[in-house]
Structure 1
Amino acid sequence: MTDRLIRITTALAVVAVAGVAAVISYRHAYELVHAHGETGPTARLVPFTVDGLIWAASMVILDASRRKQPAPPLAKWSLAVGIVATVGANVAHGASHGPIGAIVSAWPALALVGSFELLMTLTRNAARGDCTPDEQRTTPEQPRTKPEQTPEQALLDEYRASLNGPGRPLSQRYLAEKYGIDRRKVRRIITTGTSA
């Protein structure tokens, strides 16, 4: 329970930080795009293309991880380009205020990317079923299932069980109807199985 609580609270913290960082990072990118000649819908949409690229690349990498396949090179490359673009846009936004301004402006983008990748790590680990030794000990063991029986074997097992139970053994007619097997074959199964 403790490990599950840790994962849940970590996920909530990551989502909260990512949400705040995304809003600030978007505003910085929007102001940068707007200051360099773009207006209207273009200025509002360009920042989404950067963060959208990061999202899409991360989802492809996550999907590959879930399928236990290597991440496609294009997804890795796209993720790297998206990270460089979002951090670069935020640095450029704050550069007019000197090195400290550039670092302060870059922080939301770094927090966004870092939080998003932490969330992807949690998701990948949950998909793989990673758990601590404590969780492994407390997880109930699944009962082992019997291998599939043929109708003939199931019929014979049921007949044998009825020999040891109270009352009369099951009739060949009942077994033939239940298992959809010809009565002559039922007789052979019972005779062969009980004489062995």
Structure 2
Amino acid sequence: MMKRIYPRTGDLQTVYLNAVVRDPSIEIGDYTIYNDFVNDPCDFERNNVLYHYPIHHERLVIGKFCSIACGAKFLFNCANHSLRSLSTYTFPLFYEEWGLNHTDVASAWDDKGDIVIGNDVWIGFEAVVMAGVHIGDGAIIGARAVVTKDVPPYTIVGGVPAREIRKRFDTDTIECLLRLRWWDWPIEKIRENIPHILNGDAENISSSNICKDL
């Protein structure tokens, strides 16, 4: 876990997320950042992780080296209304009013599961990720996209609902990167390979044979 909150001296708009998140059901990888120029980025849990109530025991999992832009939201299952019911009204939630069993509160909504974000994912300005969505490593979520379905690794999506725009790289390069998993390397090894990472030089990264063997 990151020990310091702010990656840059004098920049109070950008934080290392796992330095400010306290909820144990929210798991954030090292070096993942959140930028907010409207609200205090330290309030990410309250302002950006919505309808995430303890009654449902669901998780938000975000990998390492992700970049999350201002206003991105993660909407959990308690925001849903059950589509199995003849009515979208949440009767079980107001059990006292309607004389219902309080243990059936969770039947007021459909359960789509956890939200799981891979590593090195960029989530754009005011994008919304819905309950149950899994986003693969290296994906990019466009500004104000509403993500209702899983996103494959290294895929760019955008729109409402979000749809695939294109792959970031060719199939061989994507396979190479998924095998390399550079984000799991020791920090010094990552530091040594930053020139290759920045230049898009997958074949020579870390002088590895992983990509050359594909």
Shorter-normalised TM-score: what interval?
Answer: under 0.3
Which has more strand, going by share of residues? 2
Which has more helix, going by share of residues? 1
TM-score normalised over the length of structure 2: 0.23
CA radius of gyration, larger in: 1
